[in-house]
Chain A
Amino acid sequence: MIDDPDEIVLVPLHAVAHGRAGDKGNRLNISIIPYEAETYALLAAQLTPERVLALFAHRRAAQVVRYDLPLLHAFNFVIDDALEGGVNDSLNLDGHGKTNSFRLLGLQVEVPRRLVRAPRRRRQDHTSP
C-alpha cells in the first residue's frame, strides 16, 4: 500500500524544518527554517507566538515575538525571559540556551505527508513495499 502524499499528518517540526538558537542576556532567539518553500505558509499559520510561549511556560518566559522573513522562507522567534537569568545567573547546564532550538523543533505540526523529511538512513525502508 502506498501512502497518500497529500494526506495531512502530525509530525514534529523537526521533520519539516531546521533552526538554531542564540542568546543575549535573558532573551532567547530561535530561527525556524522549513526545508521546503511550500511548508513556510503552513507553518506561518501554526507556529503562533502563543504556542511557542507555551513551550517555555515552565521557565516563566514572558513574551514571544515572531519575525517573518518571506524572502528566506524563515521565521525568527524572540523569546523574552526564557533563560532563567541567562548565562550569568542561570543554574541550567545550558545557560546560553543553545539546545532550545530542539525544544521548538519538537513541537507537533500538521503538514501533507509529501513535505515530511524522513531521516536519510530510513529512506530506503520508506521506499520498500
Chain B
Amino acid sequence: MGMFRIGNGAGFSGDRIDAPGPVVDTLIARGGPAAMFFEVLGERTVALAQLEKRRDPARGYEPMLERLLEPILEKCARHGIAVIGNFGAANPAGAARAIARLAEGLGLGGLRIGVVEGDDLSASIDLAGLEVHEADAQLDQGGGAMVSANAYLSAQPIVEALRAGAQIVVTGRCGDPSLALAPLIHHYGWTEDDWDRLALGSAVGHLLECGSQVTGGVYYDPGYKDIPDPANIGFPIAEVSADGRIVITKADATGGVVNLQVVKEQLLYEVHDPANYITPDVTLDFSGVSLRQDGADRVEVLGVRGKPAPEKLKVTVCFEGGWLGEGEISVAGPNCLARAKSIAEVLLERLRRRKLDVRSRVDLIGIASVHDDDGGTLWRAYTGRDPTDIRVRLAVAGDAHDEVDQAAREALALLCCGPAGSGGARWRTTQRIRTQSYLVPRASVEPRVSVKPAAAWL
C-alpha cells in the first residue's frame, strides 16, 4: 500500500526554529515520498509585512525564513522532500530571492523555487458592495486606511507549481490546510471535486497547521495532562495511505505526545460548526470523526467527510487601526492589594482630568486580568487575601498617537507620584491593525505561478 508522509515545521511566525530538523530527519529515516509544510501567516501578519515592505521593498516576507530553512533545505532537496510554506506574506518574490540566495550558498543553485502570487488584491479591490464575512459582521471597522487585502487561495496553484517541478513553493495568503493538501493532491492525483479525498488532505492540514498544538503544545497541564520534555516538543507528521487512512504521529527522539486527548483538542481548534468547516478547497464535515490510538504517539483519524467547496473566496482586508498604549507598574508585599486598587483608580482619574481621547482598561495582574472585562468587574469584586505581588496594567486605545502615548505614560509617572513601594514601570505605544473579511467570486481572483531555478531568481 502506498503511503505519503507530510511533516509540519512551523505553526506560526515566531515558532521554534529548531523544530523542523527532527521532522525532516524522521521523514528521511522512514523513507518513501514525503513533503514538509510551514504555516507562518496569521490573519494580521500579512498587514504587518505590508508595512515592513513600505519601509523596505526588499522585505515584507517571513523574517525567520532563512533560520527556518537553512538547517533542512539541502536535506530536503537531496531526498526529494518538497517544501511548501506561506513564507511570502506581502512579498512572495522577495522570499523566493532570499531562498535563492540561501540555496546558492548551500551549493543548490539548481533548486527549483516556485512562487504563488495573485492573492494580493490591494491594488484592485473595491470594497463597496462586497459581501461581509458573517463572523465579522459585529466588528467595528473604524476609518483607517487600507493596508492589505488578500484572498485565501486554494491548494491548486501550489499543485501547479509542484507539477512544474518545484522543490520548494512559496505562497502568500492561501488556506492554511491547503499547504498540506497540495502535495497530497500532487502525489495521489486527486481530482478537484473528489470532496472526500480533499477533505482527508485538508483535515491533515487542519490538524498539523499549528505545529506542536497536535503534539503537546497548548495542551500540557502539570498533574493532569503531562507530556515528556515540553522544552523539546516534536512537531507533527501525518501518514496518508493511498486508501485514505490517516495517522497523526511526530518526529522521533523528541518530547511531546500524540494521544486521543491532544488530537481531539486540535481537531476542534478554531472550529465553529464541526459539520461545516470551510476551506477554499472543500467544506469539511468532522461530525462523523472518530479517533483510534494506533500505538505510542500514533492516532488514526477516521470518518472525515467532504462537501463541495464554497462558491466564493474569503478575502481579509487589513486597515490601519489606530494605536494601542500600555503602561505597567508593580506593587508587592503587605497591603499590596489596596495599593494596586489605588493605582488603578488614580490612573483612570488622570485620564479623565487630562481629557485624553482614549478607550481605557486597567488590569490587576495577579488578581484578575485576562478573564476580566474592560470595566474590571472581576478585580473590583475581589476581596480575598493579598497575593505576593500584583502588576497593574493600563491599556488605552485611540486614533491619535500622541493622546494614546500620553495616556500610557501615566503609568510611568507613577514611579514618583504613585503609592509606597511601586516599581518596575514600563510603557509602550504600538500601531494597531484592524481586519475585515469579505467574500468575492472565485473568478475575480487570478493566481499566478512561476517556477524557476534558484540562480534565475537572483
Which residue numbers of A lie inside 8 Å of B, CB to CB? 14, 18-20, 22-27, 29, 31, 33, 35, 58-60, 62, 67, 69, 71-72, 74, 76, 78, 80-81, 84-89, 91-94, 98-100, 103, 117, 119-122
Contact = CB atoms under 8 A, between A and B. Distances in A.
Contacts of A62: 138
Nearest to A60: B373
Contacts of A20: 218-219, 265-266, 268-269
B146 interface: no
A122 B224 CA distance: 11
A103 B261 CA distance: 19
Nearest to A117: B224
A29 B374 contact: no
Interface in B364-384: 365, 369-375, 377-378
A121 B223 contact: yes
Nearest to A55: B371
Contacts of A59: 373
B338 to A, nearest CB: 23
11 contacts: A22-B271, A31-B265, A58-B378, A69-B274, A72-B289, A78-B273, A85-B140, A87-B43, A88-B435, A91-B360, A93-B363
Q: Sort A-B residue pairs by CB-CB distance and give the 8 closest, nearest first.
A: A119-B223, A22-B270, A31-B268, A94-B370, A91-B361, A91-B395, A20-B265, A58-B377
B374 A84 contact: yes
Nearest to B266: A20
Q: Which of B269, B289, B363, B373 has the most CB of A within 10 A?
A: B373
Contacts of B225: 18
Contacts of A84: 373-374
Interface string B232-276: 000000000000000000000000000001001111111111100
Given A20-B268, A22-B270, A71-B303, A89 B434 contact: yes
A31 B287 CA distance: 14
B363 A89 contact: no
Contacts of A58: 372-373, 375, 377-378
Contacts of A89: 139-140, 321, 397, 432, 434
B59 to A, nearest CB: 23
Contacts of A69: 268, 274, 286-287, 289
Interface of B: 43-44, 135-136, 138-140, 218-219, 221-226, 261, 264-274, 286-291, 303, 321, 324, 359-361, 363, 365, 369-375, 377-378, 393, 395-397, 432-435, 437
A29 B286 CA distance: 15
B138 A80 contact: yes
Q: Which of B267, B321, B371, B434 has the most CB of A within 10 A?
A: B371
A94 B288 CA distance: 33
A76 B268 contact: yes
A81 B138 CA distance: 8
B371 to A, nearest CB: 5
B272 A24 contact: yes
B224 A88 contact: no
B265 A92 contact: no
A58 to B, nearest CB: 4
A24 B373 contact: no
A76 B275 CA distance: 12
Contacts of A23: 270
Contact of A19 (B265, B271, B375, B395): B265
Contacts of A121: 222-223
A19 B264 CA distance: 9
Given A87-B44, A92-B372, 20 more contacts: A20-B269, A25-B435, A26-B138, A69-B274, A69-B286, A71-B288, A74-B264, A78-B272, A84-B373, A89-B139, A89-B321, A91-B359, A91-B360, A91-B374, A92-B374, A93-B369, A93-B393, A93-B395, A119-B223, A120-B224
Nearest to A20: B265
B434 A92 contact: no
A21 B173 CA distance: 24
Given A58-B377, A71-B289, A93-B370, A88 B269 contact: no
B270 A71 contact: no
Contacts of B139: 25-26, 85-86, 88-89
A72 B44 contact: no
A22 B370 contact: no
Given A25-B139, A93-B393, A121-B223, A67 B372 contact: no
B261 A18 contact: yes
B44 A88 contact: yes
Nearest to B324: A91
Q: Which of A18, A19, A22, A72 has the most CB of B within 10 A?
A: A72
Contacts of B226: 120
B272 A27 contact: yes
B434 A33 contact: no
B173 to A, nearest CB: 16
Contacts of B274: 67, 69, 76
A94 B268 CA distance: 20
Contact of A103 (B135, B287, B290, B371): B371
Contacts of A31: 264-265, 268-269
Contacts of B393: 93
Contact of B272 (A26, A29, A74): A29
A76 B265 CA distance: 10
A29 B321 contact: no
